Amino acid sequence: MQLDRSGTPTLLWGRSPEKIREMKETLVNSRYLPGCTLSDSIRLSADLESVVSQADHVLMVVPSEAFADTLRALQPHLTANTGVAWACKGFEPDSGRLLHHVAGEILGDDVPLAVVTGPSFAAEVAKDLPTAVTVAGRDDEFTRTIASALHGGRFRAYTSDDIIGAELGGAVKNVLAIATGIGDGMGLGDNARAALITRGLAELMRLGQVLGARPETLMGLAGVGDLVLTCTGDLSRNRRLGLALGKGKDATRTVAEIGQVVEGINTAVELHRLAEQHDVSMPISKQVYGLLKLGWDAEECVRRLLAREQKAETS
């Protein structure tokens, strides 16, 4: 919707022919964006080959678990000089790789790549509420092209060449949002929420240093900006899951009620593996992993965090 709003001719592909037919008739995505009307200038199609072959560039918005398969499906239809960007936030399942590594492997070195990330609830963008994001990639011209296509009106798009930091911030914040949601669900108070966000940021910074992210990226929109939004905004699916868990509700049932992918669940597994692999201390993220995957008790997780050895804040 923002691409169309900023004057960029837009084709929208969806894999469900039935959903595309419904959207053509109603101009509304009733499942994901109820109440938000699409412009009739956006062309809708369930034919991936037709859409990709006509596109100058592609912007993907899919769950991270579907990222690789979607790339493989569109790759044969890419024309020369077509770049691929995405607004997906997570790691590749099982490998823990950042998504630009996956895209580079599937599409090859000649296809320009970029990620669109930052504090941006889709429902608020659809309603044209003020939003600022980061577009990060190593091909400067393509990165600027995607940013320019999105930028306009009440939407600001900044550019960066730190794709590692941009992707890492977008992935890790999902796990930390579950943590802050759990704390709020348990009624731990505003002090605890602020502590979880701040110490969660410290975990992100430590991992970022090991993986090659720049600190200024993690202190910007793609890092602390997205972290604050996702940890405090109730439109966040990860926060909503955490709230339910903090109240003692079942994770599987809660995800079914949310009705969409909660990225932080799979991300918690990959993040735990990365932290172990690189010997990075991420105690908050570890407690989320234990609660989701090992059946740890939420009260015991809090006790573990508070019982950790005292140390200097910046160590």
Task: List the structure tokens of 229.
Answer: 């939004």
Q: Note the pLDDT tens digit of each residue in 63-76.
A: 999 999 999 999 99
Between the CA atoms of 23, 25, 28 and 32, what dihedral angle is there, to the nearest 10 degrees? -30
Residue at which a domain ends, from 161, 183, 202 = 161
Instruction: Tell me what the pLDDT averaged over the chain comes to.
Output: 96
Spot the catalytic one: 173, 247, 249, 286: 173
Per residue in 150-209, pLDDT (tens digit) is: 999 999 999 999 999 999 999 999 999 999 999 999 999 999 999 999 999 999 999 999
| pLDDT value, residue 263 | 96
- Please check whether residue 312 lies inside any domain of the structure: no
Residue 166 lies in a domain: no
Do 137 and 246 lie in one domain? The reply is no
Region of residue 80 (left: phi > 0; alpha: psi -120 to 50; beta: else): beta
pLDDT tens profile 33-64: 998 999 999 999 999 999 999 999 999 999 99
Contact status, residue 179 vs residue 200, Cβ threshold 8 Å = yes
Both 8 and 58 in a single domain? yes
Percent of the residues in the chain that have a pLDDT greater than 70, as a whole number: 100
Residue 315 domain flag:
no
Domains contained in the chain, number? 2
Does the residue 311 lie in any domain? no
- pLDDT for the residue 31: 87
Query: Within this chain, do residues 212 and 266 fall inside the same structural domain, yes or no?
Result: yes
- Assign residue 91 the CATH number of its domain: 3.40.50.720
Band the pLDDT of 86: cuts 50, 70, 90: very high
Q: Which domain holds residue 283?
A: 171-306
Q: Are residues 91 and 189 in the same domain?
A: no
195 and 82 in a common domain: no
Of 161, 191, 224, the position where a domain reaches its end is 161
Mark whether 106 and 54 lie in a shared domain: yes
DSSP letters, the chain, are -HHHHTT---EEE-S-HHHHHHHHHHSB-TTTSTT-BPPTTSEEES-HHHHHHH-SEEEE---GGGHHHHHHHHGGGPPTT-EEEE---SB-TTT--BHHHHHHHHH-TTS-EEEEESS--HHHHHTT--EEEEEE-S-HHHHHHHHHHH-BTTEEEEEES-HHHHHHHHHHHHHHHHHHHHHHHTT--HHHHHHHHHHHHHHHHHHHHHHT--HHHHTSIIIIIHHHHHHH-TT-HHHHHHHHHHTT--HHHHHHHH-S--HHHHHHHHHHHHHHHHT---HHHHHHHHHHHS---HHHHHHHHHTSPP--TT-
Domain-ending residue, one of 142, 161, 180: 161
Three-state SS sequence of 257-308:
HHCCCCHHHHHHHHHHHHHHHHCCCCHHHHHHHHHHHCCCCHHHHHHHHHCC
For residues 69 and 200, membership in a common domain is answered with: no
Where residue 80 falls among pLDDT bands split at 50, 70, 90? confident
What average pLDDT does this structure show over 122-132? 97
Backbone angles phi, psi at 218, to 5 degrees: -70, -20
Q: Is residue 187 part of a domain?
A: yes
CATH at 282? 1.10.1040.10
Residues 61, 190 within the same domain: no
- pLDDT-derived band of residue 27, with 50, 70 and 90 as boundaries? very high
Per-residue confidence (pLDDT) for residue 275, from 0 to 100: 98
The dihedrals phi and psi of 164, each to the nearest 5 degrees, come to -65, -50
Q: Please determine, for residue 315, whether its predicted confidence score (pLDDT) is greater than 80.
A: no
Residue 113 lies in a domain: yes
Question: Is 173 considered catalytic here?
Answer: yes
Q: Tell me: the pLDDT tens digits for 289-314?
A: 999 999 999 999 999 999 999 999 98
Q: Is residue 105 part of a domain?
A: yes
The reply to whether 271 and 155 lie within a common domain is no
For residues 70 and 207, membership in a common domain is answered with no
Q: Is residue 131 part of a domain?
A: yes
Mean pLDDT of 231-252: 97
Domain co-membership, 157 together with 175: no
pLDDT band at 9 (very low <50, low <70, confident <90, very high): very high
Please give the Cα distance from 29 to 37 (Å, whole number).
8
The answer on 33 and 157 residing in a single domain is yes
